[in-house]
Structure 1
Amino acid sequence: MSVKILLDQSGKYTNLDVIKGRVILRLFQPSKISYVIVKLEGEARTRLQGVNPDSNRPENFLEIHKLLYKMQRVFPPPNVQVNPREKMSFQLAPGSYEYPFEFKIPFNNSCLANIQAHGPSTPFNMAGFNIEVSKSAPHHVKTTLPPTMHQSQEAGIRYFVKATVNVPSLFKENPRAITYFSFDPIEPPRPKSDGEAYARRQHQFNDNPEQPKRKFSLKLGAAPTPPPVTNAQLARFSIDVRMPNPSVLTCGKDIPLRVLIKQQSPRSGPLYLKTFQIELVGHTNWVLNSASNLHYTIGIETDAEGAETELTRELWAGHTLPDAVCPSFVTCNIERYYELVVSVGLSYGSTIPGQDQFVVLPLRHRVEVFSGIRPPDELLKRVAEQRVRPQPPTQAATAPPGGLPAYSAGPSNLPPGSGQHPEDPYLDAPPSYEDAMAENIRPLDGPRPGYNPQPAHGGAQGGLFDEKS
């Protein structure tokens, strides 16, 4: 007996998409089967190392949040009347069988606390093996499904379709198949810009850096005392990094940035831009642009106090945000946020090394990274209507009792033994779309720029994801 999953469309999926495929079951001899189920799942895992206070030994603490869980029974078909409380089996002849399935990807996560266990994983020892068991955490947030992420060994998010063939025997393993896919969420509604946000740094150069003449001293090796520097001998400048407010970067798009250098006092020497670098700092650093030995003249010596010089956008034009950058998100156990760091290197008086006054000034600016997948106009219209007429939240449906799963291609069914703890409400999170708004909205049509992670595979993160989990 073998089973595999074939998706009708490979590649990247987003909210509102309908993921379709087939479960192909091959039997090499007559076999009894109870049922075949297909699950659409998404999970966020974190593994951090701590020290057990009892044994004083390092241990891994695993936390798993089931962000997405939908289940569909494809065999027996829904037109076959079965009693979910009875264990039934069907005799199938040798051959190949195909069972189609489809799921619609919602907007929000469906992560619920486990009623019976909370907190991080608790390792225990069995037959000399250190087995790691995950327990559900007590805190959860309700927010938009986060993107696929597998850039570290401490945290990761993956999405997959899993098929399980249940055989009515305690001595036979249930055959399973799993296939992974990349998920990139629809970005939230873009707020209207209400001006510019900025980061500012100030610096002053010595406007008369002549070296004093060495005078005779009775003390051997004594350094000459330089004359005091007055305010009249200081050339003062400020640097502004300005972006639209709110500051949003889009995967695969140019950076909406302005860099201005303002003269704040008279000066007698030239000012040059020697280096320029832009970094996007998250959990890792993404160098977007770096340039040196520019010798770019900024203004002239006779500029009045308060004169501003805007750096040419050719310094960063065409250096788009890499599409491998994960969009910003917040979920139960992982948060991804970014700062844009613009480092400006200024040289005063000369461009010759050793004869100039050179300084590098970093400016940090908090930004949001969007996926670049714009929401449909119809959805934005419903969001605006929802703000006028708020509706009470709906209660998620629980799975029916019994050993046979119910047929469902619609709302999420919870995993067995899971549910929302009455004392653990969802914590505050950024606003997201409600799934009820998009119930009848068709999937997005057309090109989908933006985040393009590499396909995730089990074990790709040093054991963070286990195929058997």
Structure 2
Amino acid sequence: MDVSISLDNPQTTFINGETIFGNVIINCPHNVTVSKITASLIGESVLTLTDKSGLFMDWTQQEKHRFVQESQVIAPYRYVTEDSRQTPMKLAFGYHSFWFALQVPETPECSCPRKSPVSHRDDKESTTSHASKVLPSSMENLAKGVEVKYRIDIAVNTVRNMFKFTTKQSMAVNIWPIDSQAPSVITMPPTAFPCVRATQASIMGPPPAPSYLPSDSSNAQRSVSIPTTAERAQILISASFLPECTLTRNRTIAMRLTIQKLNPYPSDILLQSFQMLLVGYTDICVGTTESTQMSSHTIQSLSNLNMAIFPAFEEVGMIHVVDSGLWEGKTLPGFMVPSFESCGLERRYELEVSMGFQCRGEEGKAGRVLLVQLRTPVRISSGIHPDRRLYDKSEISIGDEVSSKLGGGALQEYHGTADGFGYRDRGDREMRMSEHSHSSMPVLPPTYDEAVMMSPGEKWER
């Protein structure tokens, strides 16, 4: 007997609150007696660190945290009377399909023991932080010793000659936290960005002409150069972002950059270079060992700009808005997972904006280029909103889809689930499930004999 899993949207990155629909396909080479079919959604992280504080040897520590475990009994059906006996199903030769629906929870629930060090650390953080935790993002090969994986486990229990057997199958799925930004925030104009980070810089101007004094009263042609200190231009660089300094994956950097003149200065101020860098940190804690891994990605890098910021005659207090074309069209890389914090693991980011300023005076004299860095923590959101639609009523039915994958072979489709729902149209699943929540008792699913006797296009009625 072979067991396989077929998802309605296998390439989709799911979010918390969504329902994962799919089918369990059982290939029976002969008659099989099935006593139970269970589908489970599992989310867990595996953290591995090497403690090098020992004198003679290194000590490798590993922790596994399970924060999602949702189960659904596909068969036997739940809506049966208490007096009726739940007899095992007998599946004949061929393919048999059972569909399931597993909902991704809204928040994680870690399985750490209450007296473990991780549990005490989380309790302390929860009292000091008001931010609600989100589901960890699926993460693999992004940081050494860190894996965050979600999977769907299928267990099929069979009975043969008085012995019980269990056949298991698993399929990995990607899950990211939902983007909680409101539409009004996403469409907010740059002038209204509330999160502001600023830094002040002092730019050295071009060297002044040296002053000369006679070194000897008897020889006026001989002179000594007296060094003088060049004046400095004072500026304030401010960067404005969306609330919580949020940046969205696969979208243009939402930022407003301004420069303010703080003191009178006789030379022009130019912007010579511009660079934007995203730095990612993975904080890992296993037992008493802690580690931070860092990675960086260059979003934009420009040089030799010669962009005029303030002319010499500009008044003090004037604000110059930096042209957003310097970073327009540049998006966050797709492999950057959203920010999250969970048991023993945190993924966080910082955005670094580096600008090279230069003062230029008369006759083309210029001072040294001063590199100014503005660095701020940012939150990366998934960009996946709850209003997206994964299922369309115009799609083909489940049975037709699975049959085509199996080469058009015979397929028996079972519509009963743990909630007693069974629909051929995937687009109607969520709608009918919501309708059922207001009813008292669903119609009982068909028996095996009734399901086998139905033709593919026939509807069952009781």
Same fold (TM over 0.5): yes
Alignment of 1:174-253 (within 5 A): 174-190=166-182, 195-210=194-209, 227-229=227-229, 233-253=231-251
Q: Which has the higher contact order (CA 8 A, sep 6+)?
A: 1
Distance 1:348 1:138 in 2: 51
Alignment of 1:267-282 (within 5 A): 267-282=265-280
Name which one, 1 or 2, has greater alpha-carbon Rg. Answer: 2
Equivalent in 120, 137, 150 of residue 147 of structure 1: 137
Relative distance call for 1:79 and 1:185 in structure 2 (3 A) is same
Relative distance call for 1:344 and 1:327 in structure 2 (3 A) is same
Question: Which shifted more, 202-211 or 355-364?
Answer: 202-211
State the AA in 1 paired with 2:42: E
Alignment of 1:300-339 (within 5 A): 300-339=311-350
Identity of aligned residues (%): 24
State the AA in 1 paired with 2:269: L
Relative distance call for 1:270 and 1:139 in structure 2 (3 A) is closer
SS of residue matched to 2:310: coil
State the AA in 1 paired with 2:27: R
State the AA in 1 paired with 2:111: L
Unaligned runs of 5+ in 2: 127-131, 186-191, 216-223, 282-294, 389-416, 421-432, 437-462
1:240 Cα deviation after fit: 2.3
- Residue-by-residue CA offset, 1:334-354 (whole Å, 9 max, x unaligned): 222222211001122279999
Distance 1:39 1:354 in 2: 71
Aligned partners of 1:207 and 1:267 also within 8 Å: no
Relative distance call for 1:92 and 1:196 in structure 2 (3 A) is closer
Equivalent residue, structure 1, for 2:149: 158
Relative distance call for 1:294 and 1:137 in structure 2 (3 A) is same
Aligned partners of 2:16 and 2:105 also within 8 Å: yes
Aligned partners of 1:266 and 1:304 also within 8 Å: yes
Equivalent residue, structure 1, for 2:42: 41
CA RMSD of aligned residues (A): 4.2
State the AA in 2 paired with 1:144: V
1:26 Cα deviation after fit: 2.1
Equivalent residue, structure 2, for 1:260: 258
Structure with higher strand content: 2
1:207 Cα deviation after fit: 4.3
Distance 2:38 2:363 in 1: 72
1:294 Cα deviation after fit: 0.9
Aligned partners of 1:343 and 1:361 also within 8 Å: yes
Aligned partners of 2:193 and 2:240 also within 8 Å: no
Aligned partners of 1:255 and 1:320 also within 8 Å: yes
Aligned partners of 2:206 and 2:361 also within 8 Å: no
1:167 Cα deviation after fit: 5.1
Equivalent residue, structure 2, for 1:446: none
What's the TM-score, normalizing by structure 1?
0.64
Aligned partners of 1:235 and 1:265 also within 8 Å: yes
Aligned partners of 1:28 and 1:95 also within 8 Å: yes
State the AA in 2 paired with 1:303: E
Equivalent residue, structure 1, for 2:5: 5
Equivalent residue, structure 2, for 1:100: 99
State the AA in 2 paired with 1:241: A
SS of residue matched to 2:99: strand
Distance 1:104 1:162 in 2: 14
Relative distance call for 1:41 and 1:110 in structure 2 (3 A) is same
Equivalent residue, structure 2, for 1:349: 360
Equivalent residue, structure 1, for 2:71: 71
Alignment of 1:397-416 (within 5 A): none
Aligned partners of 2:205 and 2:267 also within 8 Å: no
State the AA in 2 paired with 1:25: I
Unaligned runs of 5+ in 1: 121-135, 217-223, 378-406, 411-438, 443-469
State the AA in 1 paired with 2:112: A
Distance 1:34 1:183 in 2: 31
Equivalent residue, structure 2, for 1:111: 110
What's the TM-score, normalizing by structure 2?
0.65
1:155 Cα deviation after fit: 2.0
